[in-house]
Amino acid sequence: MRWRPNTVIGAIGEHSVILIDTLSGQSETINPVGTVVIRTHGLPNDALYFALRREVSEVARVGDAVAVRPVDRAIFDGHVVGRSL
């Protein structure tokens, strides 16, 4: 298994997957494949933020509580909040 952040799925076959690198445009067929895990954008999970906001005088919303997006944005959110303290 390898992390492929700049990759899209071109096709999923019965036992293979075609991957396309979004930067180079090159495709790669992975075979055999038993399972494909797809990371997709979902809905922000901000329930804890709003629950704490009612109980705590100062609370910051970062990462997936703001919007589901790449991890570097969550890290940057935490950096900004940390510098503001």
Domain residue limits, the chain: 1-39, 47-84
What region does 54 belong to: left with phi over 0, alpha with psi -120 to 50, or beta? alpha
Spatial neighbors of 5 by CB under 8 A, at least 6 apart, are 70
Alpha-carbon span 49 to 36, nearest angstrom: 32
Give the model's pLDDT for residue 77.
92
Spatial distance between the Cα atoms of 45 and 23, rounded to a whole number of angstroms = 30
pLDDT along the chain (85 residues), means of 10: 83 94 94 84 85 92 86 90 92
Cβ(44)–Cβ(60) below 8 Å: no
Predicted pLDDT of residue 16: 95
Residues 6+ apart with CB under 8 A from 54: none
Question: pTM for this structure?
Answer: 0.49
